[in-house]
Amino acid sequence: PIVTSGFKSYYYSNKTIVNVVPSEKDNVIKIYPNPTHEFFKVEGVKSDYSGFVFIYDMQGKLVQKSDLSYNSIVNISSLSPGVYVYKVSANKSVHMGKLIVE
C-alpha cells in the first residue's frame, strides 16, 4: 500500500525473503593451510573449469606455475621459507593473496 502524507509518499511492503541464491562473486577460491610447509590445497575451482596458480616472490619474480583442476593440491616443497604472492586464475576470474611458507 502507498500512504501519502503531505508532499511525501511512502511505500510499505510485508514481503518475506525465503531464500538467498549466491551470486557468481560468492564463489571464492580458498587456499589452505596458510602458513604451509610442502603443499596447499586450492578449493573452489569449479569441476568444469581448469586454471593455473602462479607463485611470485616478493620481488615479483615468478617462482612456480602449476595447473589447477577441481580441488587441486599444489606441491611447493621446492620453495624456500618466506612470504610469497599467489595468483589463481580459474572460474573465469583471478584471485590473489599472500602465501606464507614455513
- The pLDDT tens digits of the residues spanning 56-92 come to 999 999 999 999 988 899 999 999 999 999 999 988 8
- Output the CATH code of domain 29-101: 2.60.40.3080
Per-residue pLDDT at 29: 85
The torsion angles phi and psi of 72, rounded to 5 degrees, stand at -75, 150
Q: Burial level of 45, CB count in 10 A (0-12/13-18/19+)?
A: buried
Mean pLDDT of 10-20: 58
